Copies of this chain bind each other. A is one copy, B any other.
Amino acid sequence: MATKIERPLDLLNASRGKEVLVQLKGDKQYVGTLCAFDIHINVVLDNAKELLDGQVKKSIGITFLRGDTIIFISPASTAAK
């Protein structure tokens, strides 16, 4: 990744408009386009899909995810490596 990451939120900023993988507590995963985030790590994903064991379980469209339940957020392109 060419972007310089000085602070953790720089990675989220560099990922706006791109597909990310969001891992929640309790093993739920979502993929979607990162539209927005804030300092509480609340995020909005567009075209969000819930995954189970790496398979798409259902589409939930645009969605607001509370930061409190998030474990990690990875740009999907690197997660797919």
Contacts and interface: CB of A to CB of B under 8 A. Distances in A.
A71 B38 contact: no
Contacts of A64: 8, 11-12, 72-74
Copies of this polypeptide in the complex: 7
Interface residues of A, number: 47
Contact of A44 (B11, B68, B77): B11
A60 B44 contact: no
25 contacts: A1-B46, A5-B44, A5-B46, A8-B36, A8-B37, A8-B42, A8-B43, A8-B44, A8-B64, A9-B42, A10-B36, A10-B44, A11-B62, A11-B63, A11-B64, A25-B26, A41-B42, A60-B79, A62-B74, A63-B73, A63-B74, A64-B72, A64-B73, A66-B67, A66-B71
